[in-house]
Amino acid sequence: MTESIEDSSSSCDETLIDEEDLNKFTPTLDQFTPAIPETVTKYYMRQCGLQTDDDRVVKLLSVSVQKFMTGIQHKKKV
């Protein structure tokens, strides 16, 4: 019943985002200031055992959490 990482994905060569889209997105992420401060995100990342030296990862997580919370708020209003 144990499945290796190599066996779990049928096509590891597929990417989730097109390289051109990623190149357009990265500068946008750098300019965006998330509502959740990056210090707060870093705190909770440490609490969960996540560590990174890449500030882009922290900012991306902050933006993702903001989008998630906005979606929840929007659903509550409907």
Domain annotation covers residue 10 = no
Residue 7 lies in a domain: no
Question: What is the torsion angle, in degrees rounded to the nearest 10, for the CA atoms of residue 54, residue 50, residue 39 and residue 47?
Answer: -170
Q: Which of 75, 11, 70 is nearest to 35 (CA)?
A: 70
Residue-wise pLDDT tens digits, 31-67? 999 999 999 999 999 999 999 999 999 999 999 999 9
The structural domain count of the chain equals 1
Q: Closest Cα to residue 22, out of 52, 60, 53, 58?
A: 60
Q: Domain for residue 1, yes or no?
A: no
C-beta separation of 26 from 54 below 8 A: no
Q: Is residue 12 domain-resident?
A: no
Is-above-0.85 flag for pTM?
no
Taking residue 36's Cβ as centre, other Cβ atoms within 10 Å add up to: 16
Residue 53's domain comprises: 18-77
Residue 11 covered by a domain: no
